[in-house]
Amino acid sequence: MNKFYITTPIYYPSGKWHIGHCYTTVICDALARFHRMKGEDVFFTTGTDEHGQKVEKEAAKRGVSPLEFITPLVNEMKEMWSLLDISYDRFVRTTDSAHEECVKKIYEKLYKSGDIYKAEYEGFYCVPCESMWTEAQLVDGKCPDCGREVEKRKEESYFFRLSKYAPAILKHYEENPEFLQPKSRVNEMVNNFLKEGLQDLSVSRTNVKWGVPLPFDEKHTAYVWIDALLNYVSSLGYLTEDDSLFKRYWAADLHLMGKEIVRFHAIIWPAILMALGLPLPKRNYGHGWLLIGGEKLSKSKESGSEELTDPYELIKRYGADAVRYFLLREIPFGSDGEYTNERFLLRVNADLANDFGNLVSRTEAMMLQNFGCVPKRGKEEPLDKELIGLAESAFAKVEDAMNRLNAPEALSAIFALVSRANKYIDETTPWALAKDPEKKERLGAVLYNLAEVVRMTAVLLKPFLINSPALVLKSLSQDESAGFEALKFGLMKGGEKIEKLAPLFPRIDVKKELQAVAEFVRANRKKENPVEKEESVKEKISIEDFDRIELKVGEVVACEKVKKSEKLLHETVKIGEEFRSVVSGIGKFYTPEEMIGKKIVLVTNLKPAKLCGVLSEGMILCAEDENGVLSLVTPEKAMGSGGSVR
Ligand code: ME8
């Protein structure tokens, strides 16, 4: 039996999900289901990429542990996959102890073999992308991937001997044209990275605590990208006592991903596998993006558009099948595709409500009305034979497209059959045949042919849509779990009971719906951006109001951590001749030693309060950046304590 190991990247659980996130996973799911229906031994994995500085900072901002912060977001992601009926066999969290153990063992192995070594390191780090760049790679001094500011960093680090593997990777590309697709990505990798040779890669961090500590040097944590890539083998129990899954499924048959992360999968990952002496994945495919206004739909760039991109809301409004169908059909595979609500609604209306929904409802209604069940197969005329031929040859076209991972083409072959069947209704005019008792036999033959096409279409659609194919099969008293062996014309005997279906995809009034969606998006944006709202709602205050706040310069003369709190520091602040006890939530950004001697600005007339049992008689002012990093507000010129701030 053929095996098929397929993976999605593991996702950053940011909580700001958009329809673009569903793209990779829905395609993988359709492929996994397709191969299962062919009777193959499929293993399909996905998961979450949970370590790194971003998570550490977000958690600190909220005063919770990284795991406490991330777990609800992981659960949200799982819920989204369950709404979309994603049939993964394993969900890997990089915080799972089994994964962490695997990461440690792999680092240990590579350290022992000399593929990982220690050295000093300087570069430019993009915090949101968790990527390090050399100066030459920056574009206008900014991150070449996302265009945001980068931080210059110098640190001691462990390096992976990536440079050693460049020639072998190039050779592998040449000898295995399937390894990296589409072809344009090969050119990109070769021209932008491999041709000039590779530099060794820093694979550990000392400044990121939220990561897997290296077994041979616990000051260092694993670089998040290596940690993440290793999920593809940790998910199979690589280097554990029971590695039967690894033996059964490795090497991966397909890693599918967005084009922005091809570099990691097509250069770093094969080099690591080579260093481990493991066979390389058979195929990597870097798909295109869903765009809004020509830009990648992304969680960090607010588009300000009125498109509804929230998958939960889209599923709630139109159903999981419509969302899956849109993603699988509308975006040309391998290229970018513009996302708009209008395109979504038009596509769903045209194909699912009009073509497929109509074919099913017309065929079933006419059978019920004239026979009360599926009629018997009749004598076939040339027109019938053409339709039957098309139905029987559809699978080969779908299979050919799916072998090339091209779901839009596969669906287009299935919908060519749907259109042909609708045209067949117009050509055979069953409503006219029904009026003439002498033509009852012909009517039966026509409706039988249509019923078989509906049944076969439902089987063909099963990898792509979830609910509607099952409903259609059930309504014709057919086995919902049918595989592709059911794609033979003529399997129904006649006499099958028909259960009347509610419309599978109700027609949408596109104009009205677009208005409703735009209103929904506007209202929700206000809800989601409480900051924006707060700022606009905050009233103007008078100078007298401001005067009621007493602000003074103080000097921190003693400072210690508040017990059992990662976030709180307890300062003793000198204000002129007075000493005050102050508790502040800056423990993630300043050590007690750093605080001592600092001149700070303090609100001195706040009512005293107790925080974690410690008295606080004032509030230290800080500025906060967009990543939640706090920075103390201090007087710009040297001055003593006690001065007032106005
Ligand atoms: O990259 N259109 O995770 P991620 C199409 N954790 N696909 C999109 C998209 C869009 N607008 N936006 C995101 C990561 N995606 C790493 C992976 S794997 C070892 C580590 C796709 O959450 C993206 O291309 O940023 C990728 O395939 C997936 O969503 C997860 O992206």
pLDDT in tens, 620-644: 999 987 667 889 999 998 888 999 9
Asked if 325 contacts 466 with a C-beta cutoff of 8 angstroms, the reply is no
Question: How far is ligand 1, taken at its centre, from the CA of residue 376, in Å?
Answer: 50
Backbone angles phi, psi at 5, to 5 degrees: -105, 115
Q: Which atom of ligand 1 is nearest to the CA of 299?
A: 12
pLDDT at 535 over 80: no
Q: Which atom of ligand 1 is nearest to the CA of 258?
A: 24
Task: Name the maximum alpha-carbon separation found in the chain.
Answer: 111
Confidence of residue 546 (pLDDT cuts 50, 70, 90): confident
Structure tokens at 439: 């033509």
223 DSSP assignment: -
pLDDT on residue 626: 65
Strand order from edge to edge, sheet including 217-222: 204-205, 217-222, 213-214
CA nearest 342: which of 317, 308, 299? 308
Ligand 1: which of 12, 46, 232, 336 to mutate, most ligand atoms within 8 Å of CB? 12
Burial bucket for residue 385 (CB in 10 Å: 0-12, 13-18, 19+): exposed
Tens digits of residue pLDDT in 495-509: 999 999 999 999 999
Rg (CA), the chain: 31
Find out whether the peptide bond into 609 is cis, omega within 30 degrees of 0. Answer: no
Q: Which atom of ligand 1 is nearest to the CA of 232?
A: 19
Ligand 1: which of 49, 185, 287, 305 to mutate, most ligand atoms within 8 Å of CB? 49
Amino acid at 148: R
Asked if 395 contacts 460 with a C-beta cutoff of 8 angstroms, the reply is yes
CA 486 to CA 458: how far, in whole Å?
A: 10
Give residue for tokens 């996905």: 46
Ligand 1: which of 16, 146, 289, 301 to mutate, most ligand atoms within 8 Å of CB? 289
Confidence of residue 646 (pLDDT cuts 50, 70, 90): confident
pLDDT on residue 137: 84
Q: What is the 3-state secondary structure (H, E, C) of 408-437?
A: HHHHHHHHHHHHHHHHHHHHHCHHHHCCCH
CA 391 to CA 457: how far, in whole Å?
A: 8
What residues are in contact with ligand 1 under a 6 Å CB criterion? 9-12, 20-21, 23-24, 49, 228-229, 257-258, 260-261, 289-290, 296-298
- Average pLDDT on 466-493 reads 97
CA nearest 561: which of 521, 592, 598? 592
Find out whether the peptide bond into 469 is cis, omega within 30 degrees of 0. Answer: no
Tens digits of residue pLDDT in 164-180: 999 999 999 999 999 99
Tens digits of residue pLDDT in 11-46: 999 888 999 999 999 999 999 999 999 999 999 999
pLDDT on residue 441: 97
List, in sequence order, every residue forming a beta bridge with 124; answer none if it has no partner: 133, 152
Amino acid at 534: E
CA 255 to CA 281: how far, in whole Å?
A: 7
Confidence of residue 533 (pLDDT cuts 50, 70, 90): very low
Q: Whose CA is nearest to atom 14 of ligand 1?
A: 11
Give residue for tokens 């103080």: 554
Q: DSSP states of 375-406 as a string?
A: ----PPPHHHHHHHHHHHHHHHHHHHHHHTT-
Find out whether the peptide bond into 182 is cis, omega within 30 degrees of 0. Answer: yes
Asked if 392 contacts 488 with a C-beta cutoff of 8 angstroms, the reply is yes
Q: Whose CA is nearest to atom 19 of ligand 1?
A: 229
Question: How far is ligand 1, taken at its centre, from the CA of residue 616, in Å?
Answer: 45
Find out whether the peptide bond into 251 is cis, omega within 30 degrees of 0. Answer: yes
Structure tokens at 63: 């005063």
The torsion defined by the Cα of 256, 262, 264 and 267, in degrees rounded to 10, comes to: 110
Backbone angles phi, psi at 183, to 5 degrees: -60, -35
Question: How far is ligand 1, taken at its centre, from the CA of residue 23, in Å?
Answer: 9
CA 646 to CA 550: how far, in whole Å?
A: 9
Question: How far is ligand 1, taken at its centre, from the CA of residue 46, in Å?
Answer: 12
Tens digits of residue pLDDT in 563-589: 767 778 999 999 998 999 999 988 888
Find the helix or strand (DSSP H, E) in which 124 lies.
Answer: strand 116-126
CA 489 to CA 391: how far, in whole Å?
A: 7
CA 167 to CA 175: how far, in whole Å?
A: 12
- Average pLDDT on 104-127 reads 93
Question: How far is ligand 1, taken at its centre, from the CA of residue 11, in Å?
Answer: 6
Tens digits of residue pLDDT in 293-325: 889 998 654 556 789 999 999 999 999 999 999
Q: Which atom of ligand 1 is nearest to the CA of 12?
A: 22
List, in sequence order, every residue forming a beta bridge with 172; answer none if it has no partner: none
pLDDT at 97 over 60: yes
Q: DSSP states of 433-497 as a string?
A: HTT-GGGHHHHHHHHHHHHHHHHHHHHHHTTT-SHHHHHHHHHTT--TT--GGG-STT---S--B
CA 442 to CA 484: how far, in whole Å?
A: 29
Question: How far is ligand 1, taken at its centre, from the CA of residue 69, in Å?
Answer: 20
Confidence of residue 536 (pLDDT cuts 50, 70, 90): very low
CA nearest 54: which of 5, 124, 126, 103? 126
pLDDT at 236 over 90: yes
Distances (CA, A) of 194 to 125, 143, 223, 283, 443: 21, 20, 21, 18, 65
pLDDT at 613 over 80: no
Q: Whose CA is nearest to atom 26 of ligand 1?
A: 258
Asked if 480 contacts 474 with a C-beta cutoff of 8 angstroms, the reply is yes
CA nearest 568: which of 547, 551, 549, 583? 583
Amino acid at 567: K
What is the pLDDT of the chain when averaged over all its residues? 93
Q: Whose CA is nearest to atom 22 of ligand 1?
A: 11
Q: Whose CA is nearest to atom 30 of ligand 1?
A: 11
CA nearest 575: which of 602, 541, 536, 610? 602
- Average pLDDT on 202-210 reads 91
Question: How far is ligand 1, taken at its centre, from the CA of residue 63, in Å?
Answer: 28
pLDDT on residue 299: 64
Q: Whose CA is nearest to atom 24 of ligand 1?
A: 258
Give residue for tokens 């397909």: 254
Question: How far is ligand 1, taken at its centre, from the CA of residue 310, in Å?
Answer: 16
More confident residue, 538 or 79: 79
Question: How far is ligand 1, taken at its centre, from the CA of residue 141, in Å?
Answer: 24
Ligand 1: which of 10, 11, 260 to mutate, most ligand atoms within 8 Å of CB? 11
CA nearest 31: which of 287, 360, 226, 220? 287
Ligand 1: which of 23, 74, 84, 234 to mutate, most ligand atoms within 8 Å of CB? 23
Question: How far is ligand 1, taken at its centre, from the CA of residue 257, in Å?
Answer: 7
List, in sequence order, every residue forming a beta bridge with 42; answer none if it has no partner: 4
Ligand 1: which of 91, 261, 298, 339 to mutate, most ligand atoms within 8 Å of CB? 261
SS3 529: coil
Confidence of residue 530 (pLDDT cuts 50, 70, 90): very low
